[in-house]
Structure 1
Amino acid sequence: MTELMRVDRSAPTLRELTLEKLREAISTGFYRPGDRLVERTLCEQLGVSRTVVREVLRHLETEGLVETIAHQGPIVARLDPEQVQEIYEIRALLESQAARACAELATPGLVKQLRDIRKEIEDAFEKKDFKRVLAYTELFYEAMFAGGHKMMMHQVVKSLNARINQLRAMTIASPGRSVDSNREMNKLLAAIGKKDGDAAAAASYEHVRLTAAIAMATLAEKAAETSS
Protein backbone atom coordinates (compact mmCIF):
# COMPACT_ATOMS: atom_id res chain seq x y z
CA MET A 1 0.00 0.00 0.00
CA THR A 2 2.89 2.34 0.84
CA GLU A 3 4.40 1.79 -2.61
CA LEU A 4 1.07 2.55 -4.28
CA MET A 5 0.96 5.92 -2.53
CA ARG A 6 4.52 6.91 -3.43
CA VAL A 7 4.78 9.69 -6.01
CA ASP A 8 7.27 9.12 -8.83
CA ARG A 9 9.31 12.33 -8.99
CA SER A 10 11.87 11.02 -11.48
CA ALA A 11 10.06 12.41 -14.52
CA PRO A 12 8.94 16.02 -14.96
CA THR A 13 5.22 16.69 -15.15
CA LEU A 14 3.52 18.29 -18.13
CA ARG A 15 3.21 21.49 -16.11
CA GLU A 16 6.94 21.49 -15.31
CA LEU A 17 7.86 20.88 -18.95
CA THR A 18 5.55 23.68 -20.08
CA LEU A 19 6.95 26.01 -17.43
CA GLU A 20 10.49 25.28 -18.58
CA LYS A 21 9.63 25.89 -22.23
CA LEU A 22 7.82 29.17 -21.65
CA ARG A 23 10.45 30.43 -19.20
CA GLU A 24 13.13 29.65 -21.78
CA ALA A 25 11.14 31.40 -24.52
CA ILE A 26 11.03 34.56 -22.40
CA SER A 27 14.60 34.33 -21.10
CA THR A 28 16.08 33.87 -24.57
CA GLY A 29 14.03 36.70 -26.09
CA PHE A 30 11.59 34.68 -28.21
CA TYR A 31 8.97 36.61 -26.29
CA ARG A 32 10.15 40.14 -25.54
CA PRO A 33 9.20 42.54 -22.74
CA GLY A 34 5.74 43.94 -23.41
CA ASP A 35 4.66 41.07 -25.70
CA ARG A 36 1.13 39.81 -25.02
CA LEU A 37 0.85 36.20 -23.88
CA VAL A 38 -2.44 35.04 -25.37
CA GLU A 39 -3.67 31.83 -23.76
CA ARG A 40 -5.19 30.33 -26.92
CA THR A 41 -2.00 30.96 -28.90
CA LEU A 42 0.16 29.48 -26.15
CA CYS A 43 -2.06 26.40 -25.99
CA GLU A 44 -1.56 25.85 -29.71
CA GLN A 45 2.19 26.51 -29.62
CA LEU A 46 2.87 24.36 -26.57
CA GLY A 47 0.28 21.67 -27.22
CA VAL A 48 -1.22 21.82 -23.73
CA SER A 49 -4.54 22.75 -22.15
CA ARG A 50 -5.59 26.23 -21.10
CA THR A 51 -5.52 25.07 -17.47
CA VAL A 52 -1.83 24.23 -17.71
CA VAL A 53 -1.06 27.51 -19.48
CA ARG A 54 -2.86 29.50 -16.78
CA GLU A 55 -0.97 27.70 -14.00
CA VAL A 56 2.35 28.33 -15.74
CA LEU A 57 1.58 32.01 -16.31
CA ARG A 58 0.72 32.45 -12.64
CA HIS A 59 4.01 30.81 -11.67
CA LEU A 60 6.01 33.01 -14.05
CA GLU A 61 4.29 36.03 -12.54
CA THR A 62 5.75 35.07 -9.15
CA GLU A 63 9.20 34.92 -10.81
CA GLY A 64 8.78 38.42 -12.19
CA LEU A 65 8.78 37.34 -15.84
CA VAL A 66 5.08 37.94 -16.44
CA GLU A 67 2.74 40.72 -15.37
CA THR A 68 -1.01 41.05 -15.81
CA ILE A 69 -2.35 44.30 -17.26
CA ALA A 70 -5.96 45.31 -16.71
CA HIS A 71 -8.13 44.87 -19.84
CA GLN A 72 -5.13 43.38 -21.66
CA GLY A 73 -4.17 40.23 -19.80
CA PRO A 74 -0.72 38.72 -19.21
CA ILE A 75 2.33 40.17 -20.93
CA VAL A 76 6.06 39.58 -20.66
CA ALA A 77 7.13 41.83 -17.79
CA ARG A 78 8.92 44.99 -18.83
CA LEU A 79 12.44 45.40 -17.48
CA ASP A 80 12.41 48.18 -14.91
CA PRO A 81 15.83 49.91 -14.84
CA GLU A 82 15.80 50.33 -11.05
CA GLN A 83 15.02 46.65 -10.51
CA VAL A 84 17.65 45.64 -13.06
CA GLN A 85 20.26 47.75 -11.28
CA GLU A 86 19.33 46.12 -7.99
CA ILE A 87 19.62 42.64 -9.47
CA TYR A 88 23.16 43.40 -10.59
CA GLU A 89 24.01 44.85 -7.18
CA ILE A 90 22.84 41.63 -5.53
CA ARG A 91 24.81 39.57 -8.04
CA ALA A 92 27.98 41.61 -7.50
CA LEU A 93 27.83 41.20 -3.73
CA LEU A 94 26.97 37.50 -3.61
CA GLU A 95 29.03 36.29 -6.57
CA SER A 96 32.16 38.11 -5.46
CA GLN A 97 31.90 36.54 -2.00
CA ALA A 98 31.32 33.12 -3.54
CA ALA A 99 34.29 33.64 -5.87
CA ARG A 100 36.54 34.51 -2.92
CA ALA A 101 35.44 31.44 -0.96
CA CYS A 102 35.71 29.21 -4.02
CA ALA A 103 39.29 30.34 -4.66
CA GLU A 104 40.32 29.81 -1.04
CA LEU A 105 38.80 26.30 -0.98
CA ALA A 106 39.61 25.33 -4.57
CA THR A 107 40.72 21.77 -5.30
CA PRO A 108 42.34 20.54 -8.53
CA GLY A 109 39.13 18.68 -9.32
CA LEU A 110 36.99 21.80 -8.97
CA VAL A 111 39.37 23.90 -11.07
CA LYS A 112 39.25 21.27 -13.82
CA GLN A 113 35.46 21.23 -13.66
CA LEU A 114 35.31 25.00 -14.02
CA ARG A 115 37.82 24.95 -16.89
CA ASP A 116 35.80 22.31 -18.72
CA ILE A 117 32.66 24.41 -18.35
CA ARG A 118 34.51 27.50 -19.57
CA LYS A 119 35.61 25.59 -22.70
CA GLU A 120 31.97 24.76 -23.43
CA ILE A 121 31.00 28.43 -23.00
CA GLU A 122 33.79 29.62 -25.32
CA ASP A 123 32.79 27.05 -27.94
CA ALA A 124 29.14 28.09 -27.65
CA PHE A 125 30.07 31.77 -28.03
CA GLU A 126 32.13 30.95 -31.13
CA LYS A 127 29.17 29.15 -32.68
CA LYS A 128 26.75 31.89 -31.53
CA ASP A 129 24.80 29.22 -29.66
CA PHE A 130 23.54 31.61 -27.00
CA LYS A 131 21.16 29.05 -25.52
CA ARG A 132 24.16 26.85 -24.69
CA VAL A 133 26.06 29.89 -23.38
CA LEU A 134 23.23 30.51 -20.91
CA ALA A 135 23.03 26.87 -19.84
CA TYR A 136 26.76 26.45 -19.20
CA THR A 137 27.10 29.88 -17.57
CA GLU A 138 24.49 28.79 -15.06
CA LEU A 139 26.48 25.58 -14.48
CA PHE A 140 29.67 27.60 -13.93
CA TYR A 141 28.11 29.70 -11.19
CA GLU A 142 26.47 26.68 -9.60
CA ALA A 143 29.88 24.97 -9.39
CA MET A 144 31.52 28.16 -8.07
CA PHE A 145 28.97 28.63 -5.29
CA ALA A 146 29.17 24.93 -4.40
CA GLY A 147 32.97 25.04 -4.43
CA GLY A 148 32.90 27.96 -2.00
CA HIS A 149 30.32 26.24 0.22
CA LYS A 150 27.96 29.17 -0.30
CA MET A 151 24.78 27.30 -1.12
CA MET A 152 22.45 29.61 0.82
CA MET A 153 23.81 32.49 -1.25
CA HIS A 154 23.24 30.39 -4.33
CA GLN A 155 19.61 29.87 -3.34
CA VAL A 156 19.14 33.65 -3.25
CA VAL A 157 20.71 33.99 -6.70
CA LYS A 158 18.61 31.09 -8.03
CA SER A 159 15.45 32.89 -6.91
CA LEU A 160 16.43 35.59 -9.43
CA ASN A 161 17.66 33.19 -12.11
CA ALA A 162 14.73 33.70 -14.48
CA ARG A 163 15.35 37.45 -14.65
CA ILE A 164 19.13 37.03 -14.58
CA ASN A 165 18.97 34.76 -17.63
CA GLN A 166 16.62 37.20 -19.35
CA LEU A 167 19.24 39.92 -18.87
CA ARG A 168 22.09 37.59 -19.86
CA ALA A 169 20.33 36.75 -23.11
CA MET A 170 20.24 40.47 -23.83
CA THR A 171 23.86 41.24 -22.91
CA ILE A 172 25.65 38.21 -24.41
CA ALA A 173 24.21 39.00 -27.83
CA SER A 174 25.62 42.55 -27.82
CA PRO A 175 28.48 43.26 -30.28
CA GLY A 176 31.90 42.18 -29.03
CA ARG A 177 30.53 40.78 -25.80
CA SER A 178 31.81 37.26 -26.44
CA VAL A 179 35.45 38.41 -26.42
CA ASP A 180 35.04 40.65 -23.36
CA SER A 181 33.00 38.13 -21.39
CA ASN A 182 35.45 35.31 -22.06
CA ARG A 183 38.36 37.51 -21.00
CA GLU A 184 36.62 38.60 -17.79
CA MET A 185 35.54 35.09 -16.83
CA ASN A 186 38.93 33.56 -17.62
CA LYS A 187 40.51 36.17 -15.35
CA LEU A 188 38.16 34.98 -12.60
CA LEU A 189 38.99 31.35 -13.34
CA ALA A 190 42.75 32.07 -13.26
CA ALA A 191 42.39 33.64 -9.81
CA ILE A 192 40.46 30.62 -8.55
CA GLY A 193 43.16 28.34 -9.97
CA LYS A 194 45.81 30.30 -8.04
CA LYS A 195 43.67 30.16 -4.86
CA ASP A 196 43.82 33.95 -4.75
CA GLY A 197 40.61 34.95 -2.98
CA ASP A 198 41.10 38.71 -3.29
CA ALA A 199 41.78 38.53 -7.02
CA ALA A 200 38.82 36.20 -7.60
CA ALA A 201 36.44 38.50 -5.72
CA ALA A 202 37.73 41.54 -7.63
CA ALA A 203 37.43 39.77 -11.01
CA SER A 204 33.90 38.62 -10.23
CA TYR A 205 32.80 42.06 -9.08
CA GLU A 206 34.30 43.73 -12.15
CA HIS A 207 32.63 41.24 -14.51
CA VAL A 208 29.20 41.97 -13.01
CA ARG A 209 29.86 45.73 -13.04
CA LEU A 210 30.73 45.71 -16.74
CA THR A 211 27.77 43.48 -17.59
CA ALA A 212 25.44 45.79 -15.67
CA ALA A 213 26.71 48.78 -17.66
CA ILE A 214 25.89 46.99 -20.92
CA ALA A 215 22.43 46.02 -19.70
CA MET A 216 21.59 49.53 -18.52
CA ALA A 217 22.82 51.06 -21.79
CA THR A 218 20.76 48.57 -23.81
CA LEU A 219 17.64 49.33 -21.77
CA ALA A 220 18.20 53.06 -22.26
CA GLU A 221 18.50 52.56 -26.03
CA LYS A 222 15.30 50.51 -26.16
CA ALA A 223 13.47 53.13 -24.11
CA ALA A 224 14.65 55.86 -26.49
CA GLU A 225 13.48 53.84 -29.51
CA THR A 226 10.07 53.32 -27.94
CA SER A 227 9.59 57.00 -27.13
CA SER A 228 10.77 58.25 -30.53
Structure 2
Amino acid sequence: MILTRKFLCQALLEGIAPLTCLKCAEPVPFEAHVAGVCSFCMMNWGVFEADMTSITLFRERFYTEWIAVGFRLRDSGTRSILHRCKYGGNPKCIKGLGRWLACRWPPPPKGSVLTPVPIHWKRRLQRGYNQAKVFADGLAEVWEIEVDGGALLRVKHGKSLTGSSRQERGKVLKQTYECNHKVNSDSRLVILVDDVLTTGATLRACRDILEKQGRKVVGAVVLAMA
Protein backbone atom coordinates (compact mmCIF):
# COMPACT_ATOMS: atom_id res chain seq x y z
CA MET A 1 0.00 0.00 0.00
CA ILE A 2 1.41 3.34 -1.05
CA LEU A 3 0.80 6.21 1.35
CA THR A 4 0.57 9.75 0.07
CA ARG A 5 2.94 12.30 1.55
CA LYS A 6 0.09 13.92 3.47
CA PHE A 7 -1.04 10.78 5.26
CA LEU A 8 2.53 9.65 5.87
CA CYS A 9 3.25 12.96 7.63
CA GLN A 10 0.05 12.60 9.65
CA ALA A 11 0.99 9.09 10.71
CA LEU A 12 4.46 10.22 11.78
CA LEU A 13 3.06 13.14 13.76
CA GLU A 14 0.57 10.91 15.57
CA GLY A 15 3.36 8.52 16.47
CA ILE A 16 5.71 11.22 17.76
CA ALA A 17 3.23 13.63 19.35
CA PRO A 18 -0.34 12.28 19.49
CA LEU A 19 -3.04 14.91 19.14
CA THR A 20 -5.20 15.46 22.20
CA CYS A 21 -8.56 17.16 22.62
CA LEU A 22 -8.37 20.63 24.18
CA LYS A 23 -11.40 19.85 26.34
CA CYS A 24 -11.12 16.23 27.50
CA ALA A 25 -7.37 15.75 26.82
CA GLU A 26 -8.02 12.32 25.30
CA PRO A 27 -5.96 11.35 22.24
CA VAL A 28 -7.84 11.55 18.96
CA PRO A 29 -6.95 10.52 15.39
CA PHE A 30 -5.87 13.28 13.03
CA GLU A 31 -8.95 13.06 10.82
CA ALA A 32 -11.30 13.37 13.83
CA HIS A 33 -9.47 16.33 15.30
CA VAL A 34 -11.60 19.39 14.48
CA ALA A 35 -9.97 22.68 15.46
CA GLY A 36 -8.32 21.10 18.48
CA VAL A 37 -11.48 19.41 19.80
CA CYS A 38 -12.65 15.83 19.33
CA SER A 39 -16.02 15.15 17.72
CA PHE A 40 -17.45 13.70 20.96
CA CYS A 41 -16.84 16.91 22.92
CA MET A 42 -18.20 19.05 20.09
CA MET A 43 -21.52 17.20 20.42
CA ASN A 44 -21.91 18.75 23.89
CA TRP A 45 -20.96 22.31 22.97
CA GLY A 46 -24.41 23.83 22.63
CA VAL A 47 -23.81 24.55 18.97
CA PHE A 48 -26.10 27.10 17.31
CA GLU A 49 -27.90 25.95 14.18
CA ALA A 50 -28.39 28.20 11.16
CA ASP A 51 -32.05 28.88 11.98
CA MET A 52 -34.36 31.66 13.18
CA THR A 53 -33.97 30.67 16.85
CA SER A 54 -30.24 31.38 16.74
CA ILE A 55 -30.76 34.55 14.70
CA THR A 56 -33.35 35.86 17.18
CA LEU A 57 -31.07 35.23 20.18
CA PHE A 58 -28.22 37.01 18.42
CA ARG A 59 -30.35 40.00 17.45
CA GLU A 60 -31.47 40.50 21.04
CA ARG A 61 -27.91 41.65 21.73
CA PHE A 62 -26.86 43.07 18.37
CA TYR A 63 -29.44 43.68 15.68
CA THR A 64 -28.19 43.31 12.12
CA GLU A 65 -29.35 41.81 8.83
CA TRP A 66 -27.01 38.82 8.49
CA ILE A 67 -25.49 36.79 11.33
CA ALA A 68 -23.52 33.63 12.03
CA VAL A 69 -22.62 32.22 15.46
CA GLY A 70 -20.82 29.09 16.60
CA PHE A 71 -21.57 27.90 20.11
CA ARG A 72 -22.67 29.05 23.56
CA LEU A 73 -20.19 29.60 26.39
CA ARG A 74 -22.17 27.53 28.83
CA ASP A 75 -19.59 25.57 30.84
CA SER A 76 -15.96 25.58 31.94
CA GLY A 77 -15.01 23.30 29.05
CA THR A 78 -16.05 25.64 26.26
CA ARG A 79 -14.66 28.63 28.16
CA SER A 80 -11.29 26.93 28.58
CA ILE A 81 -11.15 26.15 24.85
CA LEU A 82 -11.78 29.78 23.97
CA HIS A 83 -9.30 30.95 26.60
CA ARG A 84 -6.57 28.71 25.16
CA CYS A 85 -7.31 29.94 21.64
CA LYS A 86 -7.19 33.55 22.77
CA TYR A 87 -4.35 33.57 25.29
CA GLY A 88 -2.59 30.24 24.84
CA GLY A 89 -0.66 30.99 21.67
CA ASN A 90 -2.83 28.66 19.57
CA PRO A 91 -3.88 30.54 16.40
CA LYS A 92 -4.25 27.29 14.42
CA CYS A 93 -7.09 26.24 16.70
CA ILE A 94 -9.11 29.43 16.32
CA LYS A 95 -8.51 29.46 12.56
CA GLY A 96 -9.78 25.89 12.43
CA LEU A 97 -12.87 26.95 14.35
CA GLY A 98 -13.42 29.63 11.71
CA ARG A 99 -13.42 26.99 8.98
CA TRP A 100 -15.74 24.82 11.08
CA LEU A 101 -18.29 27.62 11.56
CA ALA A 102 -18.17 28.65 7.90
CA CYS A 103 -19.10 25.09 6.91
CA ARG A 104 -22.22 25.30 9.10
CA TRP A 105 -23.58 28.69 7.99
CA PRO A 106 -24.32 30.12 4.52
CA PRO A 107 -21.85 32.73 3.23
CA PRO A 108 -22.41 36.48 3.71
CA PRO A 109 -24.08 38.62 1.03
CA LYS A 110 -22.16 39.15 -2.19
CA GLY A 111 -20.01 42.25 -2.27
CA SER A 112 -19.18 42.10 1.44
CA VAL A 113 -15.87 41.92 3.30
CA LEU A 114 -14.99 40.49 6.72
CA THR A 115 -13.79 43.18 9.14
CA PRO A 116 -12.38 41.80 12.41
CA VAL A 117 -12.61 43.76 15.65
CA PRO A 118 -9.06 45.02 16.34
CA ILE A 119 -6.97 44.73 19.47
CA HIS A 120 -4.45 47.30 20.68
CA TRP A 121 -0.94 46.97 19.28
CA LYS A 122 0.45 46.31 22.77
CA ARG A 123 -1.89 43.36 23.23
CA ARG A 124 -1.14 42.20 19.69
CA LEU A 125 2.57 42.24 20.53
CA GLN A 126 1.95 40.31 23.74
CA ARG A 127 -0.26 37.59 22.22
CA GLY A 128 1.37 37.43 18.82
CA TYR A 129 -1.93 37.66 16.93
CA ASN A 130 -5.42 39.15 16.95
CA GLN A 131 -7.80 36.24 17.57
CA ALA A 132 -10.65 37.92 15.65
CA LYS A 133 -8.40 38.37 12.59
CA VAL A 134 -7.24 34.73 12.68
CA PHE A 135 -10.85 33.59 13.12
CA ALA A 136 -11.83 35.72 10.10
CA ASP A 137 -9.03 34.15 8.05
CA GLY A 138 -10.51 30.72 8.75
CA LEU A 139 -13.98 31.89 7.71
CA ALA A 140 -12.58 33.44 4.55
CA GLU A 141 -10.96 30.20 3.40
CA VAL A 142 -14.34 28.48 3.20
CA TRP A 143 -16.55 31.39 2.17
CA GLU A 144 -13.98 32.66 -0.36
CA ILE A 145 -14.32 36.23 0.84
CA GLU A 146 -11.71 38.88 1.58
CA VAL A 147 -10.64 39.99 5.06
CA ASP A 148 -10.08 43.69 5.73
CA GLY A 149 -7.96 43.72 8.86
CA GLY A 150 -7.07 47.40 8.72
CA ALA A 151 -10.41 49.20 8.60
CA LEU A 152 -10.59 49.73 12.37
CA LEU A 153 -8.00 50.70 14.96
CA ARG A 154 -8.05 50.18 18.70
CA VAL A 155 -6.52 53.36 20.10
CA LYS A 156 -7.15 52.84 23.80
CA HIS A 157 -5.34 50.11 25.70
CA GLY A 158 -7.02 49.12 28.94
CA LYS A 159 -7.98 46.18 31.08
CA SER A 160 -10.20 43.41 29.74
CA LEU A 161 -13.93 44.14 29.83
CA THR A 162 -14.80 40.55 30.66
CA GLY A 163 -17.45 40.60 33.39
CA SER A 164 -18.34 44.28 32.88
CA SER A 165 -21.96 45.41 32.67
CA ARG A 166 -23.63 46.66 29.49
CA GLN A 167 -23.40 50.27 30.71
CA GLU A 168 -19.72 49.98 31.64
CA ARG A 169 -18.84 48.40 28.30
CA GLY A 170 -20.71 51.02 26.30
CA LYS A 171 -19.07 53.93 28.11
CA VAL A 172 -15.53 52.59 27.66
CA LEU A 173 -15.90 51.38 24.07
CA LYS A 174 -17.11 54.72 22.71
CA GLN A 175 -13.55 56.01 23.10
CA THR A 176 -11.74 52.77 22.32
CA TYR A 177 -11.96 52.41 18.52
CA GLU A 178 -11.28 54.66 15.55
CA CYS A 179 -11.61 54.39 11.81
CA ASN A 180 -8.38 53.92 9.87
CA HIS A 181 -8.69 56.77 7.39
CA LYS A 182 -5.64 55.59 5.42
CA VAL A 183 -7.44 52.48 4.16
CA ASN A 184 -11.12 53.31 4.57
CA SER A 185 -12.14 54.38 1.08
CA ASP A 186 -13.59 50.88 0.61
CA SER A 187 -17.23 50.81 -0.54
CA ARG A 188 -17.89 47.12 0.10
CA LEU A 189 -20.46 45.93 2.62
CA VAL A 190 -19.04 45.14 6.06
CA ILE A 191 -19.43 41.95 8.09
CA LEU A 192 -17.98 42.48 11.58
CA VAL A 193 -16.07 39.56 13.10
CA ASP A 194 -15.33 38.95 16.79
CA ASP A 195 -14.59 35.97 19.00
CA VAL A 196 -17.30 36.47 21.66
CA LEU A 197 -20.65 38.26 21.81
CA THR A 198 -21.57 39.30 25.36
CA THR A 199 -23.68 42.47 25.44
CA GLY A 200 -23.13 43.57 21.83
CA ALA A 201 -21.43 46.81 22.93
CA THR A 202 -18.21 46.12 21.02
CA LEU A 203 -20.00 45.40 17.76
CA ARG A 204 -22.24 48.46 18.17
CA ALA A 205 -19.22 50.70 18.80
CA CYS A 206 -17.43 49.39 15.70
CA ARG A 207 -20.55 49.71 13.55
CA ASP A 208 -21.15 53.31 14.66
CA ILE A 209 -17.58 54.30 13.82
CA LEU A 210 -17.63 52.70 10.37
CA GLU A 211 -21.05 54.05 9.45
CA LYS A 212 -19.98 57.58 10.38
CA GLN A 213 -17.36 57.17 7.65
CA GLY A 214 -19.95 56.06 5.10
CA ARG A 215 -19.41 52.30 5.37
CA LYS A 216 -22.46 50.02 5.54
CA VAL A 217 -22.40 47.25 8.16
CA VAL A 218 -24.83 44.51 7.14
CA GLY A 219 -23.87 41.64 9.41
CA ALA A 220 -21.73 40.08 12.11
CA VAL A 221 -20.21 36.71 12.91
CA VAL A 222 -18.92 35.55 16.29
CA LEU A 223 -17.43 32.28 17.43
CA ALA A 224 -19.27 32.13 20.75
CA MET A 225 -22.12 33.82 22.59
CA ALA A 226 -21.87 34.22 26.35
Structure 2 length normalisation: TM-score? 0.29
Structure 1 length normalisation: TM-score? 0.29
Higher relative contact order (CA 8 A, sep 6+): 1
Larger-Rg structure = 1
